[in-house]
Amino acid sequence: MSPGRVTGVVGHPVEHSLSPALHNAAYRALGLDWSYHAFDVAPGELAAAVAGAKALGLRGLSVTMPHKEEAAFLADRRSRAARRLAACNTLVFESSGTVAESTDGEGFLADLREGAGFEPEGRSCAVIGAGGVARAVILALSEAGAREILVVNRTPVNAFRAAAVARGRARVGRPAELQSTELVVQATPVGMTGVEAGRLPADPRHLGSGQLVVDLVYRPAETEFLAEAARNGARVRNGLGMLVRQAGLQVTLFTGSEAPLEEMWQAIGEKEDSPRKS
């Protein structure tokens, strides 16, 4: 067995993160004597935390709120997605320097294709929200060849900024336009356990058959939004598949091995639904 290495996630708060369970299960399944830990890093402390992690010989870090933008800035090199988004969710410490990567968009696309059986190329899509994850999804859908991407958000100026990551394919849309799209992605924290209940800029009663509705929230596994869309005949999927796949891509970046997705699903007490094509 190769010597053990340490990885982890930096965020604030981070104590409820599922990442340690996912990554440690992957290391066990791969037969690696590695460990992954949650590090609560307060705003303003990221640069010191990253310098310390490098000095201590960590292999890399997952990065979550509120550090995604600053982490990309601190890196020596950035992947194409990290550059386009000016944010990252992964730092890999190579001997040649720190590399910023973003696995959210790729994890989302992999789940859409392999988990939900939906190919976005040539399709009309919509994203509700304009935050970090919404932007990663907009960029990924654009690069996958989606015909158009409507961005619907509470604060219009943020919608314009988010649509700008995919100029030419993404535009700011009105809630009423969601009905005519084939894929609707809910990418705000509304509905998440521990988040104050809020109203989305879209009414799920207007979504229905012929549409795939993905809510990126994964806790709870079924939000009110998803339940209502399903009652109206939409095919639905929650955010667990993206969560597992973006973590799987990080496992590959850290270890160089293909991620054992089945064991990672088991580690969070879930199993993958079999996809239906749409």
Interacting span for ligand NAP (CB under 6 A) from 39-47, 71-79, 80-88, 241-249 = 241-249
Q: Closer CB to ligand NAP, residue 167 or residue 196?
A: 196
Where does this chain touch ligand NAP (CB under 6 A) — which range of 54-62, 115-123, 152-160, 227-235? 152-160
68 given a catalytic annotation: yes
Looking at the DSSP bridge assignments, the partners of residue 61 are 8, 91
Q: 240-255 and 19-30 are packed helices; what angle lies between their axes, rounded to 10 degrees?
A: 50
Per-residue burial over 221-232, b if 16 or more Cβ lie within 10 Å, else e, is eebebbebbbee
End-to-end CA distance of the chain: 44
243 binds ligand NAP (CB under 6 A): yes
Question: Which of the residues 68 through 87 are near ligand NAP (CB under 6 A)?
Answer: none
Report the residue count for the chain.
278
Identify which range of 30-38, 41-49, 148-156, 222-230 contacts ligand NAP by CB under 6 A.
Answer: 148-156
Distances (CA, A) of 105 to 27, 73, 138, 177, 187: 23, 19, 8, 24, 12
Taking the C-alpha atoms of residue 252 and residue 246, their distance in angstroms, rounded to an integer, is 10
Binding to ligand NAP by residue 11, rule CB under 6 A? no
Our finding on whether 131 is near ligand NAP (CB under 6 A) is: yes
d(CA 61, CA 92): 7
> Is 43:12 a contact under the CB 8 Å cutoff?
yes
DSSP state of 156: H
Q: How far is CA 21 from CA 27, 148, 247, 266, in A?
A: 10, 36, 10, 10
Considering the complex, what minimum distance in angstroms separates the CB of residue 245 from ligand NAP? 8
Least distance CB 73 / ligand NAP (angstroms): 17
Rounded Cα distance between 81 and 79, Å, is 5
Q: Which of 44, 198, 210, 233 binds ligand NAP (CB under 6 A)?
A: 198
Note whether 112 binds ligand NAP by CB under 6 A: no
Residue of the chain from 218, 225, 254, 265 that contacts ligand NAP (CB under 6 A): 218
- Indicate the residue type of 145: G
Q: Does 127 help bind ligand NAP (rule: CB under 6 A)?
A: no
Among positions 88, 141, 150, 192, the unique one binding ligand NAP when judged by CB under 6 A: 192
Q: Is 156 in the site for ligand NAP (CB under 6 A)?
A: no
- Calpha distance 248→113 (Å, rounded): 15
Residue window 172-191: x/- pattern of binding to ligand NAP, with contact defined by CB under 6 A: ---------------xxxx-
Phi, psi of 270 (to 5 degrees): -130, 165
Segment near ligand NAP (CB under 6 A); pick from 11-19, 199-207, 250-258, 259-267:
199-207
Q: Known catalytic residues?
A: 68
> Contact residues for ligand NAP (CB under 6 A)?
65, 129-134, 153-155, 158, 187-190, 192, 198-201, 216-218, 239, 242-243, 246
